[in-house]
Chains A and B, each alone.
Chain A
Amino acid sequence: NAGVTQTPKFQVLKTGQSMTLQCAQDMNHNSMYWYRQDPGMGLRLIYYSASEGTTDKGEVPNGYNVSRLNKREFSLRLESAAPSQTSVYFCASSVAGTIYEQYFGPGTRLTVT
């Protein structure tokens, strides 16, 4: 049982390049989330998917798109990377309903030059 896995672990992009961050969970969770973590700002929600087939914007969605490919996988895409998107990205998942705990992946450190 690997929990939540993320690929890649590290990535360096040039301004304007695109890339997709991958996330998968093997806990049969319904809900999945993407956060970014910046120094002094905590974790901020980018997008989330309450269940397979649905996605909704979080606090900071501009410049990102997401795809809930199936129940296990939730990807985050940067279409045209900007230096302001340099951050550590975390994917998380949770059971739907009244069980609230979110389980986090190990993160992807992204640098945009």
Chain B
Amino acid sequence: GENVEQHPSTLSVQEGDSAVIKCTYSDSASNYFPWYKQELGKGPQLIIDIRSNVGEKKDQRIAVTLNKTAKHFSLHITETQPEDSAVYFCAARRGLLTGGGNKLTFGTGTQLKVEL
């Protein structure tokens, strides 16, 4: 089955700096890669996603890049703010035609702390 590795497990940055979180996946049939943000005491919430036919996607201060050859994808947050402090999860999903259903395999999470 799919295996998703996520690094680092904790990340501390100064407000205004950039943060980068990296994930690698094992299944070359995976074609959808979402990123979720989880605030304390809440369920995860989708913040950005990318499909395998695209190399980069941007939404204001967040961006995701995908390297299919190397099987890794990254989340980039620029101009970090205290409200960006949370746990971030990457995930990967196999395509419907390869029997994936809509099952996501999650990474182990990154605790991001933005310090003033």
Size of chain B's interface in residues, with CB distance under 8 A? 26
B90 closest partner in A (C-beta): A42
Which residues of chain B have C-beta atoms less than 8 A from A107's C-beta? Answer: 41-43
- Among B6, B107, B108: residue with most chain A CB under 10 A: B108
B-contacting residues, A4-60, CB 8 Å: 4, 31, 33, 40-45, 48, 50, 56, 58-59
How many angstroms between the C-alpha atoms of A44 and B4 in the bound complex? 12
1/0 contact string of B1-20 vs chain A (CB within 8 Å): 10010100100000000000
Q: How far is the CB of A60 from chain B (nearest CB, A)?
A: 12
Nearest 10 pairs of A and B residues by beta carbon: A104-B43, A42-B106, A43-B106, A42-B108, A104-B44, A101-B46, A100-B32, A106-B43, A105-B43, A90-B43
